[in-house]
C-alpha cells in the first residue's frame, strides 16, 4: 500500500484524474480539504468569529494544518500541483515541508512556470506536466510497468 498526498491547486479536477487513473492500484490518496469556503472559514465557524481578518485566517490555517501536516507526514509520495492562478504559496510551503522530511516529491505544473519553480523542481524526484504522467509514475513505481 502506497500513501500519496495530493497537495496544491484546488480549482481543477487534477485530483480526480489521478485517483481515477490509479483506481486499480493499491494506493491510499489523501489531501487537503478542497471545499474552498470551508477551508477558509473552518477556524471561525468552529472556534468563534474574529473581527480582524488576520486572526480569522490564522484560526483557519491552523485547523487545516492538523489535516495537512498529518497527511504529509504519513505519505510516502507527495504530489504538489501548481496551477495557473493565485500565488499558491501554500503549495510551495507543502513542497518544502515534504522535502525536509525526506518524502519523495513529484511536482506537477505547466512548462511556463519552469523558471519560477526551479528550486521546487530541483528538490523533486519527478517533474510532470499532466496528471496522466503522475499516474504512470505511480503505476511504474508499484508494478514496474511502463505505458504502452
Residues 80-139 that bind its own copies (CB under 8 A): 82, 86-102, 104, 106, 113-128, 133, 136-137
Residue 26 binds its own copies (CB under 8 A): no
What is the distance between the alpha carbons of residues 83 and 91, in angstroms, rounded to a whole number?
10
**List 22, 27, 63, 108, residue binding its own copies (CB under 8 A):** 63
Task: Of 1, 9, 6, give the one whose Cα is nearest residue 109.
Answer: 9
Q: Which residue has the cell 480582524?
A: 52
**List 17, 21, 25, 76, residue binding its own copies (CB under 8 A):** 76
Q: Smallest distance, Å, CB 83 to its own copies?
A: 12
Q: Which residue has the cell 472556534?
A: 47
DSSP string, 54-122: HHHHHHHHHHHHHHHHHHHHH-SEEEEE--SSS--HHHHHHHHHHHHTT-EEEEE--GGGTTTTHHHHH
Binding characters for its own copies, 5-24, by CB under 8 A (x = yes): --------------------
**List 19, 21, 61, 83, residue binding its own copies (CB under 8 A):** 61
Of the pair 24, 37, the CB lying nearest its own copies is at 37
For its own copies (CB under 8 A), the number of binding residues is 80
Amino acid at each position: 500500500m502506497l500513501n500519496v498526498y495530493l497537495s496544491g491547486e484546488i480549482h481543477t479536477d487534477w485530483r480526480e484524474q489521478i485517483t481515477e487513473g490509479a483506481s486499480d492500484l493499491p494506493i491510499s490518496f489523501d489531501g487537503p480539504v478542497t471545499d474552498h469556503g470551508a477551508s477558509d472559514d473552518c477556524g471561525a465557524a468552529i472556534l468563534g468569529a474574529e473581527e480582524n481578518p488576520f486572526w480569522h485566517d490564522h484560526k483557519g490555517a491552523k485547523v487545516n494544518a492538523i489535516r495537512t501536516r498529518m497527511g504529509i507526514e504519513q505519505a510516502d509520495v507527495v504530489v504538489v500541483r501548481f496551477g495557473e492562478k493565485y500565488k499558491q504559496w501554500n503549495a510551495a510551503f507543502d513542497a518544502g515541508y515534504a522535502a525536509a522530511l525526506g518524502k519523495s516529491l513529484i511536482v506537477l505544473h505547466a512548462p511556463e512556470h519552469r523558471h519560477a519553480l526551479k528550486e521546487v523542481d530541483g528538490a523533486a524526484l519527478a517533474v510532470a506536466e499532466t496528471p496522466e504522467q503522475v499516474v504512470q509514475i505511480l503505476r511504474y513505481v508499484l508494478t514496474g510497468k511502463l505505458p504502452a
